[in-house]
Each structure stands twice: as C-alpha cells, then as structure tokens.
Structure 1
Amino acid sequence: FFLSFCSFFSVSSLMQLLLLFLGVVGLVVSYDKECSYQGMIYSDTGVCECFQCFSSGDCSTVDANCIVDVSAGSPGLYQEYWYNDPLNLLKESSDYRTPYQEYIPYAPDSATNSSIPDGIHKVLVPQIQKVHSLYKNAVAEGRYIVPAYGCTNLFTAAAYAFSEMKRQETGDPNYQVKIYAKTPYYNGYPNMAYLFPGRMNFTTVEDYCEYDDIMEIVTYPNNPTGDFHTPTYPEAFHVYDSVYLWPSLVNYSEPLDVDVVLFSMSKATGHAGSRFGWALVKDQNFANLMADYMERASLEISVDNQFRSLQVLKDLTNRPHTLFEYVKKVLQGRWSQALATLAQQPDRFKQYAVPGTFYMLIECMDQGEKDNCYNTFYQNNIKGEPGPVFGLPNSYVRIEMVSHTPDFKIFMQNMNAMMS
C-alpha cells in the first residue's frame, strides 16, 4: 500500500503531507521550483506564469525598476494557502469543475426562494447558510439568497431593485432615486449608478431632509479604512456591503441582522476569478427584483461558477477557521513590517486603516507631496490607488496588503527605499 501511495503522489506532495501531520504547513510559502518560487505552473498552460516583477521562462529574472502594482486588491495571499494546502493534493481536479454530463440545461429559476431551492441550489443555498451559521457574521436562515457574478454585480442588482420598488410604490414610471455612500467609499458605487441614467444618481451629500428615495450603502466594514460604518440616514433603505466581514480580516461580536447584506468569494476565500457573490435578503419581493435584474443582464449565473464556489465553501465548514487563521496570521506579519517602515518618517506619512485588514490608507503629510500622494509612491515604483477614487483628496493613496509574497517583498523593498 505504501509503495502504491508513493507512486500516486510526487515527492513534493508527500513532503507537504508530512508537513501537515507535523503541524507546520500553516505558513509555508512554496511555489513551483521550476519557476524559481516566483511564479506558478497552472495545469492548463504547463508553463511558468511569473509574478509581477519577475520574468524569463523560469521567473528567475528580477525586473529592474519594476513598478509593483498594489492597487487592485487581488488576493494572491489566499492563493498561497490553497496552493500549499496538502489536502488539496488528495482531490481530483474534477472536484472543482462541473462534470461535463451534468447541469447542461439552463438552471431552474429558483435561486431567490430559500424554502424551495432547485438544481444546484438544493446544495448551494444550505451550504451558504451553513457557512454563515458557523462563522456568525450574518443571519442567513430564513433569508432569500440571490447569487450573482461577484459583489459588484449585486450592487447593481440592488440599486435596480430599489429603483423598481419605488416606481411600483409610487406608480411613477420616471421616479428617480438617490444612491448614497459615506466617504470614503468603494469606487464601484458611483459607476453602478451611472449605468441607470434617469433612474438614479449617486451622492455623498449628508443633509437631505427626505429619505424615502435614498438607498444607503453601508460599508460594514469599509473599503478602504476597515472601519464599521453606521447608517447616516437611519430611516433610508439600507444595503450592507459586508464582503470583508470575515474573521480573517476583522473582529466582530454578533451576526449582522439586516434587510440586505452582500458577500463575495473574492474576499471570503480569495477566489476573485470565480466571480461569484450572494445577497442575503429578508424581503422576497426585493429578492425577486434583484433576480429579475440578473436575468435581464446575464440570463443566469454560470452553473460552473456556482459549482466551484460550492466546493470551496464546503472546505470552510469541513475544516473550520483553517483558511482564516492562515490569512490573519500572515496579514498581521505584513502589517507589522509596513507600519514599522512608515514609522521611520511619521511626519511625512500617516496611516488611517485598521491594522490587519485588506488595505492601508496612507496620507502624504509633506507639503510638496500632498497634491499627489499617488505620484509620490509611483515615483518610488509603487502603484497604489489614488484617493479621489474613494472620494478622498489627492493627499491619500490606498495600498493592498494581500498580494503574492514575492510581490509583497518587492513592495516592502521599494517602500523601505522611500524612507532612506
């Protein structure tokens, strides 16, 4: 048996299994040796795909003066967990792909009905509820679950649903609503509202007397600060953006119990490329209106996205906290390094975000750099996200903390050089 077991797995696979049993696999970062540990070989291409600042066939060349991109929030850190997880070596690749003979017709239109799910939703809906029940970040039992292509798609669906609900209530086919978010806000919010000219306007004004026509997006927690925002308009219709509400990123005390709350695989498990998110909705009519938008925009959500997400979500409940503890520990180490570097010039830079979260939010304090903090970092080979994207002045820049480890090391090298 041992010989047949060894012949089935590679030496590196067996080594990682051994590390698992020894309990030390948690923080091992081990990319493909063939890629100089600075890239990965994907099964579909068979060649090295190098990280940002590395090139050549085996990723051994460090690109001189590379501008490391830490602007987007692409969760490479999470990929390290999944890549080095020995239990993944025991899974067939088909576990993450819909079998070719299954789910060929269009999926049944029952995603929003949590009491009578059909098709893949028979297992996906209860699995989503199980995840929330385990991690206690939101009330999912008794909610209608609306799947979508990531959280940005859900924002758009919620805005459409609110607008349509108000037109139904008033009988006015031209009724316009306001989409409000407190500054700083995710840059996708205004873009969402611009998709519906004549239906809605995006605003950050905080002194409206009327609230009936306001849908407020409550960032809980906020991107880019990590703070928990409370509603500015308590009587408005609230949609909670809670994609970062996981124990790997923030501390929370009780499940969120609100009318509409949005989540995504991207920030939960790092599977941003799968483009899958879901809304937990109390009111069936509002859930149906969101689903109506999804049908108009894309007919339905890819069953392959849902199938892959189902398998990953099962891992969150089969091995509780393993992923989240890994991410939290790595982020704590990264934040410690970054804050120590910024502390070298406390009068030049000020950091506002909650330590341990997805992003740093840095303000340039020097008079010569306040007009364009983004450019200050860019000139030092660091590409962040400029403050105005989030409704902030040019003196701010956002920096992601979840890139692949080789890229993060380049970022730290460049930031240390800024301080010298």
Structure 2
Amino acid sequence: MAEAEAVSSISCSGHGKAFLDGLVLHGKPVCECNMCYGGNDCSQLLPDCMVDADSGDPTFLEPFWMKNAASSAIVVAGWHRMSYDFSDGSLISEELKAHIRKIHASVGNAITDGKYIIFGAGATHLLNAAVHALSSNNASSSPAKVVASIPYYPVYKEQTEFFKSEDYKFNGDTSMWKNDTSNSTFIELVTSPNNPDGDMKKAILQGQFVKTIHDLAYYWPHFTPITAPADEDLMIFTLSKLTGHAGSRFGWAIIKDEAVYKRMLTYMDFSTYGVSRETQLRVLKLLKVALSGNGRAMYEFGYNTMKNRWTKLSKVLSQSKTFSTQKLKPQYCSFSQQIRTPSPGTFPVQISAFASLKCDTSVLEDRSCYEVLEEANITGREGSLFGADNHHVRLSLVRSEDDFDLLLRQINKLVSVESHDKRVATTSTGLGQNYGSTVMECCGNISLNLRMELETLNYNGLYTITKNMCFYYKPCIYSSASQTPFTANSSVRTTKRFRRPYAPPGGFGDPVEASRKLRRDRRDHTAIPWLIRVSLEFVPTSAKFQVALYSIAK
C-alpha cells in the first residue's frame, strides 16, 4: 500500500500519471502522459498532434475515483481465492451478484427479480455468448440471421463475421427483414441508448422465430434519462460504462430463460472458465462505493461532466452551418426525478456518450467527413463502420478532460476557419475604391507582380505561395484609416505547391504573354479567383490583412 501511494505521488503536471505496474526507468516509475502531452513530467504539449476521438475509453470518471481513492482501494493477499471455484463450486461471487441486483434497483434501469445473472469479460464477450446460445437450438437448416438497425455498433458485424460460425451469420440492417416470410431464425441486436447516436432504440422484428439481445451498456443516469426499468428476456451491461473501469474487463447479462442461461454458462466455461477472482473482488468494492451515501454521487458527477461537455460543444457548433450533431429529445428521468432540459438562455443540452457529427455536403467535395476531420488532426470513427453514410463521424466525449479539451480546440478551429472565410469574402465584396487605391499607391507595381507570378505558375497547373513572399509585401500594406501595417501571423506556411482546381475560360495561354498582358492592363481580373482562394486558404492571416491582399488584386 505504501509503495502504491509513493508512486501515485509522482508529479506528472496534471497531464499524466505514474502507475505501480507502469513503465520503469533507472529503477523508478515514470509518467505515462495523456494524449498529445510529452516530456519527463508530461508538461509539454506536442504540436500538430492527432486528437483521438475514436476510442470510447471512459476515463471521464477518473476524477471521481481519485477523490474516492481510499474508499475504493483494495488489498489482495497472496493467498486470496487461489482455487478455480468458489466454495459452492460456481465461478460467480454470490455477494457480487447481490450487489449487481442492488445497483439496478437503486437506479431503476432494469428488473432483475426472478432472472439469472452471468458474468463475462466485458460486454463483447457476453454478446457472442448470447448469439451462440440463441442460435444453437435453431430449428432451421440455415444459419440464424444476426441483424441490427443502422447505425449499429461495429463490433456486432465484426465479431459475428470473425467467428465464421455455421450456426449464425451477420445479415445487416434490421429494416431489410421486416417483411420476411421465410420462417428464418433472426437474432436482433438492440442497443439502447444507441452507439453512436444515443437514440433510444426498440426491437423492430416480431414473431416466434425472432430472438432479441438488448445491449444496455449506456443505460445509466450519466448518459441518458432513465425512463423506466428495462424488463427484457436478455439484457447485457458492462462495468466500463457504469464506473469507467474498462480495463477490468467485466460485464454481466440478465437472462430470463433458464435454457439460454445454461447455454451461455457453458460458453463461458469453455472460453475463459469464468472471470478472475481479483476482478470480481474489485468490482464488488467499486459497486459498494457507488451505492454508498445516497447512491447518487457517481452519477451526478458523471452527468454534470457530460452536460458541461455537451454545453461547450453545442456552443461551438451553433456558430457553424457546416457541422452539426444529432438532436435528442428531452425526457423525464425517474432517477433524477426531473425532465432534463436546458436552463433559460443556455444552449440546448443533450447527454450522450458520443457526438454523431455530420458534415454538410458543401465541405465534403469528394471526401468523407472522416477525411475532413482527419485533415484537422481529429480522428473519429467513420460512419461507414456503423453501416451509415460517409457524412457522419462518431466523436467520443467520454475520454479524459485533456482529451476533450484538445478535441474542442480542434473543432473550434474548424468552425473558426469556416466563419472567418465567410467574413473575409463578405468584407472583400464591399471594399470601396478609396481603400483599394490607398493600397495600390503604397505598393505600386508590386501587387501586379504578385498577380503575374500566380498566373505564370498556374500555367503548369500549380501555384506556389511562400512565406517570404507574404512577408515581402507586409511593409507596404496599410490601412487607409490608421496607416498601421497588417502583420501576417506565424501560421503562414513555407513554400508549398497545390494543384489548381480552376482555370479561366480559354486557359492561361503562354505564361510570358500572360505576364505582358497583365502589365498592359492593370484592370485584368483573370487572376482574381486565384488570389481569393490563396488569401482565404493558404495565407491564414488576420481578416484585415486578407482584405488588403484582396484589394491589391482589385
């Protein structure tokens, strides 16, 4: 215990942690830094770091458990539970099972009375055990059809196809089979709240040949309103979404039918021979903390954290016409005994583990939304993995505070560029002749030379903008009102070549002749579309500097 406390006291600047079983350098544990942080003490923010919003690692609850470190700690003696089985011959702790029933009763999200409970190494393990159990007594000669409604959790498809079982096969979107009359056996996977969009899903298929698995991993008060206790034949939950302890690999299924329970139990015996005793001991301790006091502290912390994140994200996206997220209806939560709606004057707040971000077609061109975000150093989970279109990307909001702050910063940049470009374009079209003349008088033929250089390079289908060229013009670009130089910021790129997306009618012709033509006719606007594109995309300076640059071309 003393050793663990010594390791936990190592300073990692609030952007990482040292662990008892972590990395060791020169005999001492070292800091394991959060995403995009580095250095011996994790104090260095790494530039141009790719922000990971793909993983659903639920570390947003870590501050709660740090606050409750003492009450949630366990000490495992060397002799603890060395046997394969518990004293009753089972692989399941009866005390832990009783606490699972208590946690559901206290929250009111599932009915466990008169039902069987089985443990697994996370929800993924239990999902395949359930599919196996429901398909193994299939009366049909063909494999059972495993289906899920789009957008669905990708693991449903990936895991089902991975095992290549003769008893079942993944058959895509549930809606495709609503009018099926073949008497085939169906296993419908229903996720509620849904991953990725938080929608409260219900089973679609009905009939004697339909069996349903309800994945209720996110049906907890910190992710969604608890509208009523679920009372389904087969329900699956996971510790990772309840307390955030994904690394403990623990989940449980609540099963009504004894035959299904026994088949799942057999699957568990052959696949892992139960969940480790140390894991079960830790889970028991965590549930006791969650139930302590009024049994609400953990959920209130989680809900307030998620609400705060959604408020910030909604505020940023409210300024965008290009990016948007799913809209969830406010509902009455029996746990909090209130309808979760925003306070007057605030942005609409919805609570979901993930933001299903949609990119407008205007920004996609020939790219997917995933590629648009990737260019902005954001990695999400692309919509096609959920069976959806490429306009959507799932962004995880359940990671650490550092991770969310970095994600929000990058999204803010995306939205800022969008609104910034619109402001510059609007201002440019309204420039007066006097303003343009002031700049022309200051810069003389330098502005004309810039246009010629762009024109000449465009002849070969490429154009080049250099940092030196941008700063070369800086001394002579003034505001007619203040006569103060506009300064290009440090983000102006060094020499870089871009393929042209546009050619003027009739093409560019001979580059030398084009240059001569520009010298003869200073009012020629052939290069203006190029200069607008350059000023908006590849010379990311202040709005005033870009307006001045545009007025030079005019």
TM-score normalised per structure 2: 0.65
Question: Shift of residue 99 of structure 1?
Answer: 2.9
- Residue identity in the other structure for 1:202: F
Decide which of 320, 328, 343 is 1:345's aligned counterpart.
320
1:172-216 per-residue CA deviation (whole Å, 9 max, x = no partner) reads 7x6410111111100110122111332211121233234650011
Report SS of the residue matched to 2:110.
Answer: coil
Report if aligned partners of 1:165, 1:286 keep a CA contact under 8 Å in 2.
no
Q: Does the residue aligned with 2:362 lie in a helix, a strand or coil?
A: coil
Aligned to 1:394: 390
Q: Flag the structure with more relative contact order, 1 or 2, with Cα contacts below 8 A and sequence separation at least 6.
A: 1
Q: Deviations over 1:347-374 (max 9, x none)?
A: x112115321100001111334164101
After TM superposition, give the deviation of residue 344 of structure 1 in Å.
Answer: 1.3
The aligned runs of 1:20-419 (5 Å cut-off) are 34-45=11-22, 46-85=29-68, 88-89=69-70, 93-94=74-75, 98-108=76-86, 118=90, 121-166=93-138, 170=139, 175-194=142-161, 195-203=163-171, 204=173, 205-207=176-178, 208-210=180-182, 213-235=185-207, 236-319=210-293, 320-346=295-321, 348-352=322-326, 354=328, 355-369=350-364, 371-419=367-415
Tell me, in whole angstroms, the C-alpha distance in 1 between the residues paired with 2:355 and 2:84.
42
Kept after mapping to 1: 8 A contact 2:103/2:287: yes
Unaligned runs of 5+ in 1: 1-6, 11-30, 111-116
* CA distance in structure 1 between the partners assigned to 2:198 and 2:269 by the alignment: 33
**8 Å contact kept, 1:206–1:232:** no
Q: Distance in 1 between matches of 2:413 and 2:156?
A: 35
Give CA deviations for 1:261-320 in whole Å, capped at 9, x if unaligned. Answer: 000001011000000000000011101111111122222221222111111111121230
Is the 2:72–2:285 contact (alpha carbons within 8 Å) kept by the matching residues of 1? Answer: no
The aligned amino acid for 1:330 is T
Cα 1:366–1:283 shift into 2, 3 Å: same
Is the 8 Å Cα contact of residues 155 and 192 (structure 1) preserved in structure 2? no
Which one-letter code corresponds to 1:215 in the other structure?
I
Query: Contact 1:362–1:397 at 8 Å: present in 2 too?
Result: yes
Structure 2 Cα separation of the partners of residues 73 and 109 of structure 1: 37
Identity %: 29
Q: Are 1:353 and 1:361, in contact at CA under 8 Å, matched by a contact in 2?
A: no
CA distance in 2, matches of 1:122, 1:198: 35
Cα distance, 1:105 vs. partner? 1.2
- TM-score normalised by length of structure 1: 0.85
For 1:162 and 1:175, locate their aligned partners in 2 and report how far apart those are by CA, in whole Å: 14
Higher-Rg structure is 2
CA distance in 2, matches of 1:389, 1:193: 14
* Alpha-carbon shift at residue 160 of structure 1 (Å): 0.3
Q: For residue 302 of structure 2, what is the amino acid of its counterpart?
A: V
CA contact under 8 A between 2:119 and 2:274: conserved in structure 1?
A: no
Q: Name the CA shift for 1:382/1:353 in 2 (closer, same or farther; >3 Å).
A: farther
2:499 is matched with none
Tell me, in whole angstroms, the C-alpha distance in 2 between the residues paired with 1:400 and 1:309: 24
Kept after mapping to 2: 8 A contact 1:211/1:233: no
Q: Which range moved further: 99-108 or 241-250? A: 99-108
2: CA distance between counterparts of 1:154 and 1:353? 30
Paired residue type of 2:67 = N
Partner Cα separation in structure 2 for residue 395 and residue 415 of structure 1: 16
C-alpha displacement at 1:413, in angstroms? 1.1
- State the AA in 2 paired with 1:199: D
Quick one: structure 1 residues 224 and 153, their matched pair in 2 at CA, closer, same or farther if it must change by over 3 Å?
A: same
Task: Indicate the SS of the match to 2:118.
Answer: strand
Alignment partners' CA distance in 2, 1:196 and 1:147:
24
- SS of residue paired to 1:191: helix
Deviation per residue, 1:138-159 (Å, 9 max, x gap): 0012211110010011110000
Deviations 1:204-261 (CA, angstroms, capped at 9, x unpaired): 1233234650011111111111111111103321110000000111112221111000
**Range moving further from structure 2, 33-42 or 243-252:** 33-42
Query: Could you say what secondary structure the match of 1:216 adopts?
Result: strand
CA distance in 2, matches of 1:73, 1:231: 25
